[in-house]
A and B are shown apart, each in its own frame.
Chain A
Amino acid sequence: MLLKVVILGDSGVGKTALLNQFVNNRFSTSYKATIGADFLTKEAFCGANARSVAIDETLVTLQIWDTAGQERFQSLGVGFYRGADVCILVYDITQPKSFENLDTWRIEFLTQASPSDTQNFPFVVIANKLDRENDRRVATQRAQTWCAKNSTSILPFFETSAKAATEVEAAFRKAAQLALSQGTMQADFIPETISFRGSPANGDSKSSCC
């Protein structure tokens, strides 16, 4: 099953770093700013139920779309967001502005992606750069309050460090799990995401993996 994950957040919060840590287990201090957007795929076993044991898990291909934080939606096509199964919102714990902008990112995502149920569309919130705890300027409590008021159910919230690989896997697994539960309800919509000929699993040139 193919699940589309979109990562949004201000420029420089660490979206590309999180994605690369999750997909390639790598971190670099020298990422260039993303221009436009870009995607990576990763296969993972996950279950729709948070407490599922391995036997309930299915193999999913996560197609994770990384976007340029500075371009907002002005120049990116709606194709980036449409058909998304889950959206990950990222801010930087050392940059309050990036936290304050989560509202805008969430609203604009819902506007552009226009999911069938905006109230219950799954989001995961990531507070990144935990390795810079000494420079923290956004309290955990403040973010948790935001997560509680922005959805009918509390948005899952993770404090991560893409640099130290802290909680990155957990955050993406949660996103995948939410996407899967969403995906099982809306399986008919999956073809609307961009898909490529051939199985991503076989690793040949037709694969959508790189």
Chain B
Amino acid sequence: MTECTPDAEVTAHHLLYESTLPPSERVARLRRVAVTEGLDANTRPLAWTLLLGCGRIEARRYSNLCDGLSDDAQKIRDDARRTFRADDSVRQKVRDAQIVRCVTALARSRNNEVSNGANRSAVAACFLYALPSELEAFACFEKLAELCPRYFTPTLDGCVVGAALVDHILRCISPEIHGTLLGDSLLLDDDARTPVEDLVAYPLLASLFTVVPPLDEVAVLWDATFALGGHFPVLCVVALILERFESGDQTVARLQPRRLAPLDARRIVARACAIAPRVPRSLYDVLERHARDASVDRAVVAAASEAPRTPPKPPPSARKRAS
């Protein structure tokens, strides 16, 4: 990444508005800049629509999608009401009605086959916060749901698999930290989910980091994600765990997203990029596919992981119960 230190020729602003390079080359370079430098409030709107491939954004289509009720309209309204209530900077910019419209439109555009969890409201709110118009927010939201469709299914299965990937990657690259976090928790069987998966990775992935404020930092993680792909948040979670562990948060309880210190997104992106080459190839292959490919489940992740699972031997009583 060091070769990418920007000069005037490779800033996002230059690539978006001034460069005379062919469009494909500009987008390719923009991808790199979005990862190494991040974007800012001025360049982000256009950059995100390009990185996500929004193409032509049609106001009438959005209007039609909003103009009607989703199958779970009441639930959408309840979720919207409970999204970022405590964050004044978000509340000033994002109205509940906008979240409701964006989520309703996404549900209708995907024939209601979309997660009915708080995660979709939180993700929609972050788009509405970072982008100047509701229309752009929806266009990006819809494209993100195409980039990682399994993160938006009713069962959030991509998030479950992503959380398993976090666990396996952490185990591969830092068995000591993984072991410390696992503590003496006893796993009943080989496919039991670990506390790192369930309590740390899952909420971070399901919310795409919006559960950890501030949203300005979340947007920086998204810059890199939209540039690199739907696999990148998993690496960011691993990076975040390593960063916080080194800062003294050495138990799962302290790493729970609601109790984490505010994000330092640039550090996390840099760390995630450094982790990527250390992930074994078989596992990386699964990582790249997991957000889209429904055949990737936890068993596939476990099989791809080069480090076999060796849970501590359960005591006789636990074995008895397991049987």
- Chain A's closest residue to B186 (CB) is A191
In the bound complex, residues from chain A placing their C-beta under 8 Å from that of B206 are: 35-36, 75
Map CB proximity to A onto B179-203 as digits: 1 under 8 Å, 0 otherwise.
0000111101000110101110011
B155 touches A209 (CB 8 A): no
In the bound complex, residues from chain B placing their C-beta under 8 Å from that of A74 are: 154-156
From known contacts A41-B253, A195-B185, infer whether A36 and B248 are also in contact, taking CB-CB under 8 Å.
no
Q: Does B21 contact A (CB under 8 A)?
A: no
Q: Does B11 contact A (CB under 8 A)?
A: no
In the bound complex, residues from chain B placing their C-beta under 8 Å from that of A56 are: none
B117 touches A189 (CB 8 A): no
Residue from B78, B122, B198, B250 within 8 A of A36 (CB atoms): B198
From known contacts A11-B78, A31-B82, A38-B199, infer whether A75 and B317 are also in contact, taking CB-CB under 8 Å.
no
Stretch at the interface among A76-84, A126-134, A159-167: A76-84
Map CB proximity to A onto B72-116 as digits: 1 under 8 Å, 0 otherwise.
000100110011111000000000000000000000000000001
Between A29, A35, A36, A191, the greatest number of chain B beta carbons within 10 A of the residue's beta carbon is seen for A36
In the bound complex, residues from chain A placing their C-beta under 8 Å from that of B198 are: 36-37, 76-77, 79-80
Give CA–CA (A70, B117) in the complex, Å.
Answer: 6
Q: B317: shortest Cβ distance to chain A, in Å?
A: 4
In the bound complex, residues from chain B placing their C-beta under 8 Å from that of A197 are: 183-184
Map CB proximity to A onto B291-306 as digits: 1 under 8 Å, 0 otherwise.
0000000000000000
A189 touches B183 (CB 8 A): no
In the bound complex, residues from chain B placing their C-beta under 8 Å from that of A80 are: 198
Q: Does A57 contact B (CB under 8 A)?
A: no
Between A12, A79, A208, the greatest number of chain B beta carbons within 10 A of the residue's beta carbon is seen for A79
Map CB proximity to B onto A103-116 as digits: 1 under 8 Å, 0 otherwise.
00000000000001
Give CA–CA (A189, B316) in the complex, Å.
Answer: 10
Q: Does A22 contact B (CB under 8 A)?
A: no
In the bound complex, residues from chain A placing their C-beta under 8 Å from that of B253 are: 39, 41, 196, 207-210
Give CA–CA (A207, B197) in the complex, Å.
Answer: 20
Chain A 7-40 interface residues, beta-carbon cutoff 8 Å to B: 11-12, 28-39
A11 touches B317 (CB 8 A): no
Q: A19: shortest Cβ distance to chain B, in Å?
A: 11
Q: Does A71 contact B (CB under 8 A)?
A: yes
Map CB proximity to A onto B237-261 as digits: 1 under 8 Å, 0 otherwise.
0000000000010111110111100
Give CA–CA (A29, B197) in the complex, Å.
Answer: 29
Q: Does A1 contact B (CB under 8 A)?
A: no
In the bound complex, residues from chain B placing their C-beta under 8 Å from that of A39 are: 199, 253, 256
In the bound complex, residues from chain A placing their C-beta under 8 Å from that of B251 are: 196, 205-208
A33 touches B82 (CB 8 A): yes
Q: Does A188 contact B (CB under 8 A)?
A: yes
B75 touches A11 (CB 8 A): yes
In the bound complex, residues from chain A placing their C-beta under 8 Å from that of B257 are: 35, 38
From known contacts A12-B78, A41-B253, infer whether A29 and B156 are also in contact, taking CB-CB under 8 Å.
no
In the bound complex, residues from chain A placing their C-beta under 8 Å from that of B183 are: 194-197
Map CB proximity to A onto B145-163 as digits: 1 under 8 Å, 0 otherwise.
0000000001111011000
Q: B120: shortest Cβ distance to chain A, in Å?
A: 10
A36 touches B199 (CB 8 A): yes
- Chain B's closest residue to A116 (CB) is B321
In the bound complex, residues from chain B placing their C-beta under 8 Å from that of A11 are: 75, 78-79, 82, 118
In the bound complex, residues from chain A placing their C-beta under 8 Å from that of B193 are: 77, 79
Residue from A32, A191, A207, A208 within 8 A of B83 (CB atoms): A32
Give CA–CA (A197, B155) in the complex, Å.
Answer: 33
Chain A 170-201 interface residues, beta-carbon cutoff 8 Å to B: 188-189, 191-192, 194-197
Q: Does B121 contact A (CB under 8 A)?
A: yes
B119 touches A192 (CB 8 A): no
Give CA–CA (A47, B290) in the complex, Å.
Answer: 48
- Chain B's closest residue to A41 (CB) is B253
B117 touches A28 (CB 8 A): no
Q: Does A68 contact B (CB under 8 A)?
A: yes
Q: Does B30 contact A (CB under 8 A)?
A: no
Give CA–CA (A71, B122) in the complex, Å.
Answer: 15
A189 touches B256 (CB 8 A): no
- Chain B's closest residue to A36 (CB) is B203
A192 touches B318 (CB 8 A): yes
Residue from A12, A38, A82, A192 within 8 A of B82 (CB atoms): A12
A32 touches B78 (CB 8 A): no
Q: B122: shortest Cβ distance to chain A, in Å?
A: 7
Task: Add 11 more A-B contacts to A32-B82, A77-B197 (CB < 8 A).
Answer: A11-B79, A33-B122, A35-B119, A35-B122, A37-B199, A70-B117, A70-B118, A74-B154, A192-B314, A205-B251, A210-B256
